[in-house]
Amino acid sequence: MIKLAASVIVAIGLTACSAVEQKDLPANSGVSNALLEDKPKEWADSYAGNPSVQAFIDKMASQHGYDRKTLELAFSHIKRRPKVIEKSDNQPEVLIPYYQYKTRFVNQDRMRAGQKFALRNAKWLNKAEQEFGIDPHVVVALIGVETYYGRITGSKDVFTSLTTLAFDYPRRETYFQSELEAYLLLAREEGWNIGDTKGSYSGAMGMVQFMPSNYQKLALDYDQDGHIDLWHSEADAIGSVANYLKHHGWTTDQPWFVTAQVADLATVEEQVNKGRSPSKNMTEWSAVNVLPTQPFVINKTGLIGLRTSPNEVSYWLAYENFFTVMDYNPSRRYAMSVLELAKSIGAYEAK
């Protein structure tokens, strides 16, 4: 009976928290006023009323010494964002054929914008190439595909998006709970108010669209101004992308892919788009009548097949660096778009 009474008191207290007006939000609460704009009417309708979230709050408080009142306040002001679930289940990298998907990124506008980005950031791109061995065109193209060189970084509250995916998207709840944990620790470290951080529907942030754990581990203060800013500092974005690719295994001065001819698809069909790393050397591929149609090196490759028109599938033999780009986004359509844009930027500069 005593436990029940205590629970009722806590619930009443949190209901009061969720009902406060924006002007009444405690000063220095660590929670963004913006979370109050679409707050749940009742505490029970908020994420704070979810037992799994309460267990998560317990973990943050016990393992990380996180202020429980701050978390209670933040979670009591948000509810499930259905659009996040819808977009997670309908990603263009999965649904759209390559010949349509790539037109979003491999086009004249993005190529020219990439050249301008490269020219004004030549100092930082050269520095990143020297320190990490990453082709500057790949760094530029990756930022171009992710956010159009910082023009489109996302307008959704990262906290609500991550919470929705952490507790209402069972297929990847473990991953997103770890990213929510990383975001909250990052917010505390960086002095961000919870809910102020804007990003993609999946919680990716800045012009490089780092998830919180990657922001923690791999983001760099490349311009050395004392602050990592992946939203506004192009230098920080360049250094961070180069650091990411190097961390995931980019090999300097190695090719990305070569076009290939597949003589007998039935023989190798199960090996097309299989795995996340190279599987055979060129001798092994030639033994199954998969032959490069461009100059090549003998390193191991994987066989990539993408639809390049409604009635045609084209094939490539992809080296390790191709799969390193896939570590950024595990889609072959994505990786090929990044690398084709990189080639286009390079060709444009050479004119």
Q: In the structure encoding, which two tokens stand for residue 241, read together?
A: 């992308």
User: How far apart are the C-alpha atoms of 290 and 293, rounded to whole Å?
Assistant: 10
Alpha helix locations (H) across 199-268? 212-218, 234-247, 265-268
Contact present, 144 and 108 (Cβ < 8 Å): no
Q: In the structure encoding, which two tokens stand for residue 336, read together?
A: 């090929």
Burial class, 221, CB count within 10 angstroms (exposed 0-12 / middle 13-18 / buried 19+): middle
User: How far apart are the C-alpha atoms of 210 and 212, rounded to whole Å?
Assistant: 6
DSSP one-letter code for 19: T
DSSP one-letter code for 37: G
Contact present, 170 and 208 (Cβ < 8 Å): no
Q: Which residues contact 106 (CB under 8 A, 6 or more apart)?
A: 337, 340, 341, 344
Active site residue 146: yes
User: How far apart are the C-alpha atoms of 169 and 176, rounded to whole Å?
Assistant: 9
Instruction: State the angle between helix axes of 51-64 and 158-168 in degrees (0 to 180), rounded to the nearest 10.
Output: 120
Please pick, among 72, 129, 146, 320, the residue that the annotation labels catalytic: 146
User: How far apart are the C-alpha atoms of 51 and 351, rounded to whole Å?
Assistant: 61
User: How far apart are the C-alpha atoms of 19 and 12, rounded to whole Å?
Assistant: 11
Q: In the structure encoding, which two tokens stand for residue 64, read together?
A: 């990380």
**In what side-by-side order are the strands of the sheet with 312-318?**
290-292, 257-262, 312-318, 302-309
Active-site positions? 146
